[in-house]
Structure 1
Amino acid sequence: MKSLACMILAGVVFLTACEDKKPEAAPTPAASAAASASAAAPEPAAASASAPAPVALPEQPDDFALVEPATPTCPPEMVRVKKSYCVDRYEASLIDTETGQDLSPYYVPSRKQALSIQKRWEQERLAVGPTEAREMALPPLPPWQAQRNFEPKAMSKKSRIPQGYLTGPLAALACKNAGKRLCSLSEWQTACRGEDDRNFPYGDTYEQGKCNIFREAHPAGLLHGNPSIGHSDPRLNTVKAGDKPLLRRTGETRACTSRWEGDGIADMVGNIDEWIDDPEGTFVGGFYARSKKDGCASMVRAHPFDYFDYSTGVRCCKDL
């Protein structure tokens, strides 16, 4: 039914506006959902010329892939052997553990014993050997080393006089104070033979002069007239044959180098004997005046662990 207002205005321009309005049909559920989705979805933005190009993400690694850990390395003064342990590059020189002062390489590193030996040889040198030898003075014992007790610490350094006059227990203590230990026989021999597993650091056949061993003179023979006596004399490792010292500085004999991983261990044959971890007493490698041609197999088992003479020194090992 038309309303009163529409009837009054009939025939006027409003006539069309007064037509009966039909009620709008209720939207169906599907239509409502479509409308809501259309309203919620943003209109696609117009492509911009300045928009950055899409970046390719790196390929993700396999969740089950394992990263191999790095092989442990040795301290800089040591050489890694068979990727399982470390060996000092050079024969040990010693310092005082507390102060870092150098110990004399010509005396046993024990205050009481060093003083006793110094006193003894100040007298005996005047009565033994040729006149020239008797006039040869003892190397000085540092005053501090004579005045107080100390503990030795092993150092592996190039161009040093290696320490002689070491007992086995003192050698073990020096290594321990350096955070290291004595080498076992198998460790020492393996290191000596190098990666190529040779009888000598330089090859399989003995060559005179390649290592500092089997020298032309014996220091006790020159000083005392008898190579078998007076082996505690502090002068022995200062003796020369002609104008060349019998005992050489560490690393000086370059041909005598055991090769490992592009690195090298010096003087494992000759120069000075080296204590190993054997409580019965074993030192290996030979020293400069020993008449030996057996290279890395050279060893002496004739003395107890607390023995020492001018030829006994050490180099240390360390676990990786």
Structure 2
Amino acid sequence: MPAPAPVALPERPDDFALVEPQTPVCPADMVRVKRSYCVDRYEASLVDAETGQDLSPYYVPSRKQALSIQKLWEQERLAVGPPEARELGLPPLPPWQSQRNFEPKAASRKNRVPQGYLTGPLAALACKNAGKRLCSLSEWQTACRGEEDRDFPYGEKYQPGKCNIFREAHPAAELHGNASIGHSDPRLNMVKAGDKPLLRRTGETRACMSKWEGDAITDMVGNIDEWIDDPEGTFVGGFYARSKKDGCASMVRAHPFDYFDYSTGVRCCKDL
């Protein structure tokens, strides 16, 4: 029997085809953090999970609760606060939002009024319906501190005006004459300081960027508080009128998970 023909082997290692493993990437509306998870680029605005229609950012995203709050403040706004505040009408509740039940879905979009009036469970549901989840505290704080691991998105020390926090006015004081009352009022996030709203649109505060891999997450400090994954109830980051200078370490643990007011919003995370 003839001997088998010899098998030709490559002379150099680089003759073998080398296949580099692909690095997982995040969806376009998210930013990759530490090459291990994704974080929404912007604070969440909400849409109807079924139709994609925009929900009002000025009402709790629950039909029954929104209708109750609308009815309450149609009367209360005429009884509290200075005369000029009583003239400010309620923001409209879209007719479809008052006529049928729905589920919220989180959307990470630029130049949107971020959703306030969110409970922790509704925030979790909105993220789930977007194929995402609530961030853990460590994930959120790591993302906020950026690649350079700083106390603030922009640096090591607090600088006034860099992020939308510690503003010159409090909306409840402006509307009700008392910063401690009426926190379900749908008008609160419409209040202005001078000619500009206290609550800014997503991505508007350009100095407040947490940088990762040549990309950036916006408004992790200030603008609106953000629920995280804690069934005991924790929101982080601070909102525009909160008098705090602790940057990425800012958190509130004084309320249960089902609490909401005008300042409570969310931003979602996602596994790679």
Q: TM-score range by the shorter chain?
A: over 0.9
Instruction: Select which of 182, 198, 206 maps to 1:254.
Output: 206
Name 1:41's counterpart in structure 2.
none
How big is the shift at 1:292? 0.3
When the two structures are superposed, what TM-score results if normalisation uses the length of structure 2? 0.94
Taking the TM superposition and a 5 Å limit, the aligned residue runs for 1:121-200 are 121-200=73-152
Name 1:239's counterpart in structure 2.
191
Alignment partners' CA distance in 1, 2:88 and 2:253: 32
How big is the shift at 1:314? 0.1
Alignment partners' CA distance in 2, 1:281 and 1:64: 55
Name 1:108's counterpart in structure 2.
60
Equivalenced residue count is 263
The question of 1:205 aligning with 2:157 is answered yes
Residues 161 and 64 of structure 1: CA distance in aligned 2, closer, same or farther (over 3 Å)? same
Name 2:70's counterpart in structure 1.
118
User: SS of the counterpart of 1:258?
Assistant: strand
User: SS of the counterpart of 1:187?
Assistant: helix
How big is the shift at 1:233? 0.1
User: In the alignment, residue 254 of structure 2 is paired with which amino acid?
Assistant: A
Name 1:293's counterpart in structure 2.
245
How big is the shift at 1:68? 3.4
Alignment partners' CA distance in 1, 2:12 and 2:140: 47
How big is the shift at 1:156? 0.2
Asked which structure has the greater RCO (Cα within 8 Å, sep 6+), the reply is 2
Per-residue displacement from partner, 1:196-226 (whole Å, max 9, x unpaired)?
Answer: 0000000000000000000000000000000
How big is the shift at 1:64? 7.8
How big is the shift at 1:60? 6.8
Instruction: Select which of 264, 271, 296 maps to 2:223.
Output: 271
Name 1:96's counterpart in structure 2.
48
User: SS of the counterpart of 2:47?
Assistant: strand
Name 2:4's counterpart in structure 1.
none
Alignment partners' CA distance in 2, 1:214 and 1:309: 18
The question of 1:229 aligning with 2:188 is answered no
Alignment partners' CA distance in 2, 1:102 and 1:265: 22
User: In the alignment, residue 256 of structure 1 is paired with which amino acid?
Assistant: C
Alignment partners' CA distance in 1, 2:148 and 2:207: 15
Alignment partners' CA distance in 2, 1:126 and 1:233: 12
How big is the shift at 1:138? 0.2
User: In the alignment, residue 108 of structure 1 is paired with which amino acid?
Assistant: V
The question of 1:220 aligning with 2:220 is answered no
Please tell me whether Structure 1 or Structure 2 has the larger radius of gyration of its CA atoms.
1
User: SS of the counterpart of 2:169?
Assistant: coil
Query: Where in structure 2 are there 5+ consecutive unaligned residues?
Result: 1-9
User: In the alignment, residue 115 of structure 2 is paired with which amino acid?
Assistant: Q
User: In the alignment, residue 62 of structure 2 is paired with which amino acid?
Assistant: S
Name 2:38's counterpart in structure 1.
86
User: In the alignment, residue 216 of structure 2 is paired with which amino acid?
Assistant: G
Taking the TM superposition and a 5 Å limit, the aligned residue runs for 1:6-17 are none
Alignment partners' CA distance in 2, 1:99 and 1:262: 34
Alignment partners' CA distance in 2, 1:105 and 1:148: 17
Query: Where in structure 1 are there 5+ consecutive unaligned residues?
Result: 1-57
User: SS of the counterpart of 1:116?
Assistant: helix
Runs (4+) of structure 1 moved beyond 4 Å?
Answer: 58-66
Per-residue displacement from partner, 1:92-144 (whole Å, max 9, x unpaired)?
Answer: 00000101100000000000000000000000000000001111100000000
Name 1:319's counterpart in structure 2.
271
Alignment partners' CA distance in 1, 2:11 and 2:217: 45
